[in-house]
């Protein structure tokens, strides 16, 4: 049984992010044109912000990988560098957060896969839980801020147009 669990978590740790990207791409391509444009705008704002925060966080906090601290061989190969934050988890959680803005159902499904990918990285021995949680927060915060800014600007624009109609 442990071998089967190990294989499932190895898949989750190493390859699940590719499936998240494929699912997100399929979801994106079946969206109507105006929604695609909105998704691209949000992604083009959020992804660079997420990357910048990711880089800063990795320089501010060093967390040696579990296999380095615990002196064991991880289930998947990884160099012994800084584990904070998790690249894999950051990628899948950023994609999940952006899609969640536009589709709760698709976003929720991707979040489940993102959480499993993160948990798999912990199970495989290449990340600590804090590395995963850090990546998730680094993804959620900019997307949430950009979403609320977008909503605020939409509401202001509507109020401006409503004001013109009353003059």
Look up the pTM and report it.
Answer: 0.87
Contact 42, 147 (CB under 8 A): yes
How far is Cα 166 from Cα 16, in angstroms, rounded to an integer? 54
Q: What percent of the chain has pLDDT over 90?
A: 84
- pLDDT score, position 154: 82
CB within 8 A of 122, min separation 6: which ones? 66, 128, 129, 131, 132
86 vs 167, more confident: 86
Residue 60 above 80 pLDDT?
yes
123 pLDDT higher than 80: yes
The HSE-up count of residue 132 (CA atoms within 13 Å, CB side) is: 19
Range of the domain at 124: 2-166
What pLDDT score does 155 carry? 81
Per-residue pLDDT, averaged over 121-135, amounts to: 97
pLDDT over threshold 70, residue 163: no
Peptide bond before 31: cis, by omega within 30 degrees of 0? Answer: no
User: What is d(CA 136, CA 132) in angstroms, rounded to the nearest whole number?
Assistant: 6
Q: Write down the pLDDT at residue 161.
A: 42
Contact 85, 62 (CB under 8 A): no
CB atoms within 10 A of CB 130: 15
Under DSSP, the state recorded for 125 is T
In this prediction, residue 158 has a pLDDT band, given cuts at 50, 70 and 90, of: low
Residue 118 has pLDDT above 70, yes or no: yes
Average pLDDT, the chain: 92
- Phi and psi torsions of 87, nearest 5°: -60, -50
**How many domains does the structure of the chain reveal?**
1
Query: Does the pLDDT at position 167 exceed 50?
Result: no
Q: Which of 72-76, 102-106, 147-151, 160-164 has the lowest mean pLDDT?
A: 160-164
Task: Quote the pLDDT of residue 8.
Answer: 95
Most distant pair of Cα atoms in the chain: their distance? 73
Q: Which of 131, 123, 128, 130 is nearest to 69 (CA)?
A: 128
């Amino acid at each position: 049984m442990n071998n089967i669990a190990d294989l499932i978590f190895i898949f989750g740790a190493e390859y699940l992010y590719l499936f998240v990207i494929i699912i997100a791409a399929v979801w994106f391509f079946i969206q109507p044109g105006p929604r695609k444009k909105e998704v691209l705008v949000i992604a083009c704002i959020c992804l660079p912000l997420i990357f910048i925060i990711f880089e800063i966080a990795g320089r501010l906090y060093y967390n040696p990988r579990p296999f380095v601290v615990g002196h064991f061989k991880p289930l998947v190969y990884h160099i012994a560098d800084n584990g904070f934050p998790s690249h894999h988890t950051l990628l899948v959680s950023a994609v999940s957060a952006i899609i969640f803005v536009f589709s709760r159902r698709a976003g929720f499904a991707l979040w489940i896969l993102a959480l499993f990918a993160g948990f798999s990285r912990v199970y495989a021995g290449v990340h600590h839980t804090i590395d995963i949680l850090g990546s998730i927060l680094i993804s959620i915060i900019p997307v949430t801020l950009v979403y609320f800014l977008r909503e605020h600007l939409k509401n202001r624009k509507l109020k401006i147009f409503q004001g013109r109609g009353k003059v």
